[in-house]
Structure 1
């Protein structure tokens, strides 16, 4: 199957995944900036007096993970087989844990490794991390969390009798 064929076969699912993803980005960046400009700001004294940009990123990503689990479970992958909710949430959490490491690692590298500490730089690094994490999430969800639907066999008439064995 070509890449174009693969995308065409999954256009609805990819569209729903993208919509949930955009909404998740709004949740992620909204919580990140509320924390970064509020209780976890560089000059705030909540939880110590160190710069807590990575802590803000981890909390924001966790909030968007919970939002995405509900949205993907109830909308994006609605027609797919499911694990029991507890097991599904654990698998979802593991996939998102890997994505969170990618996202937080991107912000940490930019902020602490490269010294790019402005709010704009933190947001750009956050968006790059979100993009990389999104790729990891789609692959992880498709492979481990939400089981693929059984493929439909074209031209299969399940109720029709086999003409080779039917009495005439």
Structure 2
């Protein structure tokens, strides 16, 4: 019975993590989409250059959302390591996302605005998102070891103001 409960609680935690990651990603997607189309159609920049700029802006947005919401309970003692790994894996995701755009636009000759947006913001972003989710949860935002998590919770509770008993 307890093993079933453990599996269920792990699946529920994973579902919450995926939902939060998805919500942060949705905001990042909107930022990415707007910046990409503004660069291409507003400033006349090349599509891949626009894609890289848009993805870089979205990476900054996503770091803030993931660090301070999705993975706020994870280890925060090594922020420089975390940020370095986040940027490294985000860079790989950027290559996946914009490599797909470059292949579609320059390799396959699909150059319409719709084709560029589908290649970058649907196919490329989808592949990049799967990679980012795996790498962030595996390498970047690592959970506190169980003993440290208990000590952190205990110190938090010890520092909290006393609660008045309710009647």
TM-score (norm 1): 0.77
Quote the residue 2:57 is aligned against.
63
Tell me the CA shift for residue 148 of structure 1.
Answer: 2.1
Quote the residue 1:139 is aligned against.
134
Quote the residue 1:85 is aligned against.
79
Tell me the CA shift for residue 83 of structure 1.
Answer: 4.6
1:15 and 1:68 map into 2 onto residues whose CA distance is 14
Quote the residue 2:150 is aligned against.
none
Q: Does 1:16 find its partner at 2:20?
A: yes
Quote the residue 1:45 is aligned against.
none
1:123 and 1:83 map into 2 onto residues whose CA distance is 39
Larger helix proportion of the pair: 2
Can you list the C-alpha shifts for 1:6-65, whole angstroms capped at 9, x where unaligned?
Answer: 543312111110100111100111100010111135xxxxxxxxxx10000000000000
Quote the residue 2:32 is aligned against.
28
1:83 and 1:103 map into 2 onto residues whose CA distance is 31
SS at match of 1:40: coil
Q: Structure 1 stretches of 5 or more lacking a match?
A: 42-51, 153-168
- Which segments of structure 1 move beyond 3 Å, counting only runs of 4 or more? 4-7, 149-152
Can you list the C-alpha shifts for 1:106-134, whole angstroms capped at 9, x where unaligned?
Answer: 00000000000000000000121000000
Quote the residue 2:91 is aligned against.
97
Change (3 A) 1:83 1:143: farther
Q: Structure 2 stretches of 5 or more lacking a match?
A: 148-167
SS at match of 2:139: helix
Tell which structure's C-alpha radius of gyration is larger: 1
Q: Does 1:118 find its partner at 2:112?
A: yes
Count residues in correspondence: 141
